[in-house]
Amino acid sequence: MTIRAYSPFDNFIMHLDQGLRTVFGAPQTTGRANPADAVAASDLSAADKTLAGRLLRVNHAGEVAAQGLYQGQALTARLPNVREKMDHAAQEENDHLTWCAQRCNELGTHTSVLDPFWYAGAMAIGAAAGALGDTWSLGFLAETEHQMVEHISSISRSTRCRIFFSSSGLRSDFFKPNR
């Protein structure tokens, strides 16, 4: 079996496709089940439903930015195994992106209209990190995930944010990397 070697232009087109799917379409997922499917629908007050929708919109924007970071780093990765890890991480994050968008729809809210800007800015940052070298890029990724987990853990202790987690079927450990 021959493995195809993609040209830089091929890689650019594939990442452009991923970016358009991330921001405007249906990104490719791993097929994992949505953790909220196992959670019974809760009766939220109008205020709590609005809050949960706002928090999910912010979370969805964060998932869009995560896509940009991973895809930017994959685009500039020097080693094929680093590129593959970034592509795999991006695909796993697509699950989170899809789940958040699905829950936004269920709550009758929308995702951020600024998603294209979040994606483009994060992709530029990811590409810059990748351009500095694979070691620096992987360190940047590890610290980014660490900061995100710390942030989610801190907000999940808030009473109002517990409404978000329980209403969305998410838990703070949902955001921890499973790699």
What's the per-residue H, E or C state across 146-157? HHHHHHHHHHCC
Does residue 108 belong to any structural domain of this protein?
A: yes
Residue, of 41 and 57, whose pLDDT is higher: 57
Q: Which domain holds residue 73?
A: 52-175
Q: Is the pLDDT confidence value at 167 over 70?
A: no
Does residue 25 belong to any structural domain of this protein?
A: no
Does residue 111 belong to any structural domain of this protein?
A: yes
Residue with tokens 């890689």: 11
Residue 166: the pLDDT is 52
Does residue 96 belong to any structural domain of this protein?
A: yes
CA–CA separation, 26 and 29 (whole Å): 9
Closest C-alpha among 23, 47, 37 to residue 168: 37
Q: What is the pTM of this model?
A: 0.79
- Confidence at 1, pLDDT banded by 50, 70, 90: low
pLDDT tens per residue across span 6-29: 887 887 888 888 888 888 888 888
Domains in the chain, number: 1
Residue with tokens 């499973």: 178
Does residue 65 belong to any structural domain of this protein?
A: yes
